[in-house]
Amino acid sequence: MTQETMSTSSAVIAGQSVGAGWASIRDERPCRRTGSAARFPVALAAAALVAGAVLAVPAFAAGPSYDHLDIEYAAGDFDDGDLDYETQGLRVRASAQVASNFYVAGSYEYGQVDVDDLPGGNVGDLDSHVVTLGAGAFLRVLDSDAAALDLTGEAFFIRADLEKNTDTGWGASFGPRLRLADRFELQAEATYFDVGEDGVWTFGAYGQVDVTKLVAVRAGVSVDEDNDLVVYSLGARVNLGEQ
């Protein structure tokens, strides 16, 4: 595997991971960020989430739930001066609480990576597949009628396939989940990915509004530690816990 292909394969994890966050490993290079039209509709969706939260009146879940199924679309740009690509794809993630403060989670992500400047010119679209499987814990530090706050941490195994190249590794994430008015949720997350030869941090922020007791709308954004990669996501969460 060439160094350029390995860097692309590793960076795909970041491009496909949102939440998650999703991030990757690549060589350290000077950082330079580009823009993307994909940011604007997601930004509007995030604004709609905030407006929905302000207008929310009905009460649903009492606190953050760890029994759910997420389906999200994500799009992002990576540009560090040496490697340039755009990525988009679909992510499915399931989580199930198995004890009072513990849960298990797994995800599958399919994406397409449009690489522009590998040696030899544009190589076109590359298919990527990323699978994670892990477990996490949470501690509720605030529980009132108006809000509930959890501190969460999770560790997981990663397998990433880009065309015929495969990398495996591990990751860990932690951050707060804040539930407001029993209908609106905010989440901040720091995630570390170690795949291939190196590791990288990503940082994400996500918002959620319950449409019904069963379904919620989610939107988020994540960046890597050098601001080389920006990923925007929009999707739905299905509540699998008690209604």
Helix spans in the chain (H): 3-16, 39-55
Q: Is the pLDDT of residue 79 over 80?
A: no
Confidence of residue 115 (pLDDT cuts 50, 70, 90): confident
Number of domains in the chain: 1
For 134-153, how does the pLDDT look when each residue is reduced to its tens digit (9 = 90+)? 999 999 999 998 899 999 99
Place of tokens 């994400």: 204
In three state form, how does the secondary structure of 99-140 look? ECCEEEEEEEEEEEEEECCCCCCCCEEEEEEEEEEEEEEEEE
Taking the C-alpha atoms of residue 76 and residue 61, their distance in angstroms, rounded to an integer, is 32
- At residue 174, the pLDDT reads 97
Of 94, 106, 115, 88, the C-alpha closest to 15 is 88
- At residue 123, the pLDDT reads 61
Identify the residue with better confidence: 41 or 96.
96
For 174-225, how does the pLDDT look when each residue is reduced to its tens digit (9 = 90+)? 999 999 988 999 999 999 999 877 788 999 999 999 999 999 999 999 998 8
**Coil vs helix vs strand at 50:** helix
Q: Which domain holds residue 154?
A: 3-239
pTM of the model: 0.75
CB 70 within 8 A of CB 235: yes
Q: The domain spanning residue 155 has which CATH number? A: 2.40.128
